[in-house]
Amino acid sequence: MKVTLRTDVLTNNNKAAEFNRELFQNTKTLVMNLMSSPGAGKTTLLEETVRVLAGKYRIAVIEGDLATERDADRIRAMGARAVQINTHGGCHLDARMVAAALGELDLDEIDILFIENVGNLVCPSGYDLGQKHKVAVLSVPEGNDKIPKYPQMFMRTELVLLNKLDLLPYLDFSVEEAKRDLAEINPKSNLLPLSARTQEGMHEWFFWIEGAYLKWLQQ
């Protein structure tokens, strides 16, 4: 019975995700779904992304949190359009929530839309939102065991941003070990070490976004 219920939920979600995907395709909006545990640095990365790329691309952000407008306010303070979704206890965004938030955005006026999922390393990974790319954020203080212990998240993402690299000297995190673990779980995924605080490695992330956008326009 439980299995049937989950299948129904996912079937309904997939229908809504297809609706979103068609809309993104028709309006040529590149959409990325950012996922991580709470506090890994998703909003900080997006603040920096808006600061650096907003002169070149029209960027908007959909923010997912259980409560408050705080993350959307942070993005708005950087000058980009942001819509906040509050899940009121829900541990992930689903495609219908995103579809509802899209009602507040004019996709014809947006080149790149980032969706910051609810901070959670488990639930968000199973829900298609209609995005083109899934990006995971892992941070140095979380430790090396997260990739092997939460494989579902990392086997479904094509890029892992390893944030808070500036804290490496104070912790026992091994970047090489993280790369090995990721290669084992998902050989197609890349690990990008960076720091939203010091900007180290951030140019690689911006380069990746620009490449993804070019490819998206050409397809």
Ligand X SMILES: Nc1nc2c(ncn2[C@@H]2O[C@H](COP(=O)(O)OP(=O)(O)OP(=O)(O)O)[C@@H](O)[C@H]2O)c(=O)[nH]1
Regarding 132 and contact with ligand X (CB under 6 A), the answer is: no
The nearest distance, CB 84 to ligand X, in angstroms, is 11
* Contacted by 128, from ligand X, Mg ion, none: CB < 5 to 8 Å by type: none
For the bound state, the minimum distance from the C-beta of residue 136 to Mg ion, rounded and expressed in Å, comes to 14
Pick 21 or 164: Cβ nearer Mg ion: 164
- Give the separation between CA 151 and CA 132, rounded to whole angstroms: 21
Among 42, 81, 132, 134, binds ligand X (CB under 6 A): 42
Under rule CB under 5 A, residue 48 binds Mg ion: no
- Asked if 36 interacts with ligand X (CB under 6 A), we say yes
Q: Which residues of 25-62 are buried (b: 16+ CB within 10 A; e: fewer)?
A: eebebbbbbbbbbeebbbbbbbbbbbeebeeeebbbbb
Contact letters (x/-) for ligand X, 156-195, by CB under 6 A? -------xx-xx---------------------------x
Site for ligand X, residues 63 to 82, rule: CB under 6 A: 71
146 touches, from ligand X, Mg ion, none (C-beta below 5 to 8 Å by class): none
Tell me the closest approach of the beta carbon of residue 56 to ligand X, in angstroms. 22
Q: Which of Mg ion, ligand X, none interacts with 64 (beta carbon under 5 to 8 A by kind)?
A: none
Site residues (CB under 5 A) for Mg ion?
42-43, 71
